[in-house]
């Protein structure tokens, strides 16, 4: 089996077309075995521990396992099925066990510790010192100094956590796939744009049903909530969306949330930390929960007056327009869109024809060319996991290989919601050869219909730029060690490259490159660009409040002792108290589908979106001062931020790029919150 298993052969590009689901488990088991042998060789060495034979050897061990698991878990997010999910449940505890076998290997830790204790005499460069520090902390922060009884406890906790996290995500996906709103009366479609109705008709047709079907996938859900006139149907959709994992059935996530937060706390205490947040934030720019809480609280004080004012205006508008006495959550997008149209004469439906997906892709490539001299050439001979996936060879201005780029844009049943960037092969320098990375972005954008190509909302345009910003961070990586490469940076720094690139979506100089009417080829009129700019801060207070609320919810679970926590809904309501605008909906609970913190890597880190916004607003102000395509500023950003990954402290890198620490006022100014006080 092993000799015929494509995952165990040598390959450069992921061999998707050759991989069968049954290949994964044996390949991962074999790769764990190979990685264990490599670890044993380092630990059992009779040579004196050195940086090369211990730290570097450890860094470059387990590469086959890393590549196979990156392929597997990316598929589990982008193209999953019951078989893959079953394998994920089987292998996750094994991977967790292997990780702990490494971390809790006494002989190995002794060697690492000896190198660490002698670091002052080793004449290491900055990147080597960072790697040494990171490797030592990987042991010391994860149980290497515990006694054997506590190490056994840690192993059990980690196994349970990995299984619970997977189960949480599977339940959310299953809930989203299970729901459909089947409409048979055309009057129930009042207000919806033609292309939205067309897409819903095609979904119904694909399920051999008459009429129209709407789902909880973003390209279906969001336009329905924004445009559907039928308030009761908006309510049906909103309740379904907000109750994922909250039905007291086999897909319920309440107990999973309780177990996850309690196990994380138990783990942190075992390791000598006050809470899970204290453990996590020690390795973040913020350093501790107090800094995060203060940051969110100060932002709340700035944003709340603006949010309350905006909410009051929206309430009055809905009352005047249609006699709505009490705004509910399912009214938010609908009336906000109508108010936006009234205030700015701007409608997503007017903008969408200018944002054909292929044009926006070309646009983001052109922006990358102008900033970083990158060229993207579509290639058709690279294996992909689904026919929708596009592949591009990325080269620099001398024609040298920079990266391979995968892009997967549309929703389907096997793909989780949202958008993300991921890595199939890391950048590293090995035996003096610079190995270039394979980077992917995965999104859930509006699909083409029989009558129209894929036309993006402006929000989808900014999402594409956001994920592409992460991709640039991966593609332009230029470090020696893979664990310090690309997006391997502090979590509250990782959103800087993604969020800063969103700024180009609002600039006339950038929009004119790609915002062209899909039928006439007409470049977006300046009048519409002016309206986009003018509307960019529309309801920014409420949007900021929403992000703060998620950050506060995250910290409410992870910065305290959750031992007495028993009712998820009550806990959530209390956490949202200071940010609440709309009446509470008893049937809904956000926590049970809050995948960022219970499935992804954002536990104790959701604040980082707003934290990185401070950085990105300040960074973009520098671009604006010098010109948004200024080559010198772009080179400084590439050389100090994008290419150096996690090789130095983030604030050191930022100050080297900017010349000073970031100024929070740049964010408040851009968000229009200063003048709304």
Could you give the residue numbers annotated as active site? 467
Nearest in space to 180 (alpha carbons), one of 153, 206, 145: 206
**C-alpha 417: how far from its chain's center?**
11
The region that residue 399 occupies, defined by phi over 0 for left and psi between -120 and 50 for alpha, beta otherwise, is left
Burial of 331 (0-12, 13-18, 19+ CB in 10 A): buried
Burial of 308 (0-12, 13-18, 19+ CB in 10 A): middle
Local structure of 342: helix, strand or coil: helix
Burial of 102 (0-12, 13-18, 19+ CB in 10 A): buried
- Locate the DSSP E strands across 38-193: 181-183
Distance in angstroms (rounded) separating the CA atoms of residues 544 and 535? 15
Distance in angstroms (rounded) separating the CA atoms of residues 634 and 628? 9
- Give residues with Cβ within 8 angstroms of 250, minimum separation 6: none
- Give residues with Cβ within 8 angstroms of 372, minimum separation 6: 472, 476, 634, 638, 642
Distance in angstroms (rounded) separating the CA atoms of residues 483 and 197? 46
Nearest in space to 358 (alpha carbons), one of 378, 373, 374, 328: 378
Please calculate the CA angle 408-414-417 and round it to the nearest 5 degrees: 65
Q: Are 420 and 460 in contact (CB under 8 A)?
A: no
Q: Are 627 and 507 in contact (CB under 8 A)?
A: no
């Amino acid at each position: 089996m092993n000799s015929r298993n494509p995952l165990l052969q040598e390959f450069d590009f992921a061999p998707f077309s050759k991989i069968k689901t049954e290949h994964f488990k044996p390949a991962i088991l074999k790769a764990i075995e190979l990685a264990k042998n490599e670890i044993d060789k380092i630990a059992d060495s009779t040579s004196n521990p050195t940086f090369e034979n211990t730290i570097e050897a450890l860094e470059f061990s387990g590469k086959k396992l890393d590549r196979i698991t990156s392929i597997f878990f990316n598929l589990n997010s982008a193209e999953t099925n019951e078989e893959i999910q079953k394998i994920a449940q089987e292998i996750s505890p094994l991977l967790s066990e292997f990780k702990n076998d490494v971390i809790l290997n006494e002989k190995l830790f002794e060697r690492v510790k000896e190198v660490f204790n002698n670091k002052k005499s080793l004449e290491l460069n900055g990147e080597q010192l960072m790697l040494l520090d990171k490797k030592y902390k990987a042991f010391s922060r994860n149980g290497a100094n515990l006694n054997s009884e506590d190490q056994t406890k840690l192993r059990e906790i980690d196994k349970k956590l990995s299984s619970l996290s997977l189960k949480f995500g599977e339940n959310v996906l299953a809930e989203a796939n299970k729901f459909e709103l089947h409409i048979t009366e055309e009057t129930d479609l009042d207000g919806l744009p033609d292309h939205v109705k067309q897409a819903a008709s095609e979904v119904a047709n694909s399920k051999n049903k008459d009429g129209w079907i709407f789902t909880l996938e973003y390209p279906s859900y969001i336009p329905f909530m924004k445009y559907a006139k039928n308030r009761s149907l908006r309510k049906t959709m909103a309740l379904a969306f907000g109750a994922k994992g909250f039905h007291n059935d086999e897909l319920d996530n309440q107990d999973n949330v309780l177990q996850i937060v309690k196990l994380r706390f138990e783990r942190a205490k075992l390791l000598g930390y006050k809470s899970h947040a204290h453990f996590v934030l020690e390795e973040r720019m913020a350093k501790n929960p107090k800094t995060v809480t203060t940051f969110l609280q100060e932002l709340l004080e700035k944003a709340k007056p603006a949010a309350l004012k905006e909410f009051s205006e929206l309430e009055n508008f809905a009352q005047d327009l249609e006699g709505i006495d009490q705004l509910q959550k399912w009214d938010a997008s609908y009336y906000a869109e109508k108010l936006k149209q009234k205030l700015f004469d701007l409608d997503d439906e007017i903008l969408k024809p200018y944002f054909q997906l292929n044009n926006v892709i070309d646009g983001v490539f052109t922006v990358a060319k102008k900033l970083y001299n990158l060229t993207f050439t579509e290639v058709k001979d690279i294996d992909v996991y689904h026919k929708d996936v596009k592949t591009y060879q990325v080269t620099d201005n001398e024609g040298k290989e920079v990266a391979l780029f995968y892009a997967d844009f549309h929703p389907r049943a096997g793909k989780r919601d949202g958008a993300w960037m991921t890595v199939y092969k890391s950048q590293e320098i090995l035996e003096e050869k610079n190995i270039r990375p394979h980077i992917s972005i995965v999104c859930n954008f509006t699909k083409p219909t029989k009558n129209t190509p894929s036309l993006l909302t402006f929000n989808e345009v900014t999402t594409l730029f956001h994920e592409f910003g992460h991709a640039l961070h991966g593609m332009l990586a230029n470090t020696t060690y893979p664990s310090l490469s690309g997006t391997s940076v502090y979590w509250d720094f990782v959103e800087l490259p993604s969020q800063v690139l969103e700024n180009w979506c609002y600039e006339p100089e950038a929009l004119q490159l790609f915002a062209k009417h899909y039928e006439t080829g007409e470049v977006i009129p300046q009048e519409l660009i002016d309206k986009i700019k003018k509307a960019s801060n529309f309801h920014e207070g409420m949007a900021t409040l929403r992000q703060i609320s998620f950050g506060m919810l995250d910290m409410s679970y992870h910065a305290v002792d959750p031992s007495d926590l028993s009712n998820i809904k009550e806990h959530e309501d209390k956490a949202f108290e200071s940010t609440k605008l709309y009446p509470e909906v008893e049937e809904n609970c956000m926590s049970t589908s809050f995948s960022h913190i219970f499935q992804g890597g954002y536990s104790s880190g959701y604040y980082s979106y707003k934290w990185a916004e401070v950085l990105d607003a300040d960074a973009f102000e520098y671009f604006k001062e010098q010109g948004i395509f200024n080559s010198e500023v772009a080179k400084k950003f590439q050389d100090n931020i994008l290419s150096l990954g996690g090789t130095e402290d983030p604030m050191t890198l930022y100050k080297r790029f900017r010349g000073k620490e970031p100024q929070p006022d740049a964010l408040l100014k851009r968000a229009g919150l200063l003048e709304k006080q």
